Structure 1
Amino acid sequence: MTDPIDRDGLRQKFWERVPLKNLSPKEWEALCDGCGKCCLNKLEDADTGEVVFTRVACRLLDDETCRCAHYDVRKTIVPECVVLKPSNIADIAYWMPKTCAYRLLFEGKALYDWHPLISGDPESVHRAGQSVQGWTVPEFDVPVEDWEDHVIDEEL
């Protein structure tokens, strides 16, 4: 018997039942909650490996929608952009935000109630205060040597 498919072409509650490596491309993309946190520039301590987030956003992040303005071609515009996929999540999860669905599922944890897959509302992430909507600074406005001045104290 096959899994029921909803109107968006997704298997019912796939995030609870299907391993990340077995998700369809559409299901993989649906895991993104649209918070924009992964598009914040990060600083990593070379000695400890500690990763801290800054308010400095990738040049392609739309601060209002919290989405990449050129998602399909982002890697050609920003070659250092990391394209998350099932084959590299084990290497990248540590620098993803702690609230990220990809990281949560990789770590065997459940999605938060505000995640759009749970709430049914793509705006729930913003209402819950879990997105970067309205508080980032564009990377071209801040010299790299000043990114430390924009480190976010709270855990993401």
Structure 2
Amino acid sequence: MGAVRDRFWELPLDRLDPAEWEALCDGCGQCCLHKVEDADSGRIWPTNVACKLLDLKTARCSDYRHRRRYVPDCVRLTPDLAGSLEWLPATCAYRLRADGDPLPGWHPLLSGDPLTVRLSGASVIGRVISETVAGPLEQHIDWGDEEPLEVERADDDAD
């Protein structure tokens, strides 16, 4: 990777060179998790299922350079997409900077230590499984604070 400018992460995304763009990634691995879209509402639900190329011990792509050869629908993130992909986690450096927000203090560019991503709870290390062993994605949806749709429908029918 080439040299990067001092405090480059404070610049607008479209002013970053390729080395700076890549260095902005905090390495959390969240963008490599499969998502499930509800056909009726369009809502996107996260899962704990990782792309087959995600190294579960490092939260890094095992073949980043050639990933699209093995995962054709892998999204190539650009400055324009960073501000428009609703499924990017709120902690994503690309999303934060696209919105004009600062990086969190645990980001390795600020902390100087990649371990702070894991200590902050942003990393997927130890919390996900590979798609190669997961089975149906619907069984791995992270509902957050909401009940699964089937439960909501059952409650609606009880009235």
One of 72, 82, 92 as aligned partner of 2:75: 82
One of 82, 87, 94 as aligned partner of 1:95: 87
Structure 2, unmatched stretches of 5+, are: 146-159
One of 37, 51, 57 as aligned partner of 1:44: 37
The separation in 1 between residues aligned to 2:143 and 2:95, in whole angstroms, is 20
Task: Give percent identity, aligned residues only.
Answer: 49
Residue 69 of structure 1 and its aligned partner are, at CA, apart by 0.1
The separation in 2 between residues aligned to 1:66 and 1:29, in whole angstroms, is 15
Residue 91 of structure 1 and its aligned partner are, at CA, apart by 3.6
- Tell me the equivalent position of 1:151: 141
Matched, 1:122 2:104: no
- SS at the partner of 1:76? helix
The separation in 2 between residues aligned to 1:46 and 1:91, in whole angstroms, is 20
- Tell me the equivalent position of 1:13: 7
> How many matched pairs?
144
- SS at the partner of 2:79? coil
Superposition TM-score, scaled by structure 1 size: 0.85
- Tell me the equivalent position of 1:54: 47
RMSD: 1.7
- Paired AA for residue 114 in structure 1: W
Structure 1, unmatched stretches of 5+, are: 1-7
The separation in 1 between residues aligned to 2:45 and 2:90, in whole angstroms, is 12
The separation in 2 between residues aligned to 1:23 and 1:46, in whole angstroms, is 36
Task: State the 4+ residue runs in structure 1 displaced beyond 6 angstroms.
Answer: none
Matched, 1:104 2:129: no
- SS at the partner of 2:5? coil
